[in-house]
Amino acid sequence: MKSSDLYNPLVKFILRSPLHGLMSHNTLLLTFTGRKSGKVYTTPINYVREGATLTLITHRRRGWWKNVRTPAPVTAYVQGLAHVETLDAPATVTAIQHVYRGIPPERAVQLAPEAVIIKIALN
């Protein structure tokens, strides 16, 4: 059993409850449609808001981000248009440090090669 099999349902429960304030300042539920299956998925993910844009980061091995490789409608308790953004290594490290505030710089550098940056333009 993967740790996300236990973690994700708990996080989803908290974010949908009156307790959401414990996590909603940096974690949201992202709902999107599978590009092949047409099935609707919801996954918790860390984010940071910059004006009318949300920046999210996920690991390359998690395949859900491929559903927003080309701009695709998503719901993140707000409506928006998500897309995967290709950044050079220094910009990826900066994005990781921005989303994961307080992460040691050397850890951000380690995460960068496998990080996928997703931007959501808010409607």
Over residues 72-89, mean pLDDT: 89
Residues 86-112: pLDDT tens digits? 999 999 999 999 999 999 999 999 999
- Sign of the C-alpha dihedral computed for residues 1, 21, 117 and 79 taken in this order: positive
Contacts 24+ apart (CB under 8 A), 34-41: 34/67, 35/66, 35/67, 35/72, 41/67
Tokens representing 40 are 């609707």
pLDDT for 6 beyond 60:
yes
Where in the chain are the domains?
3-122
pLDDT at 29 over 70: yes
Q: Using CA atoms, how far apart are residues 90 and 108, in angstroms rounded to an integer?
A: 10
The fold of 3-122 is Pnp Oxidase; Chain A (2.30.110)
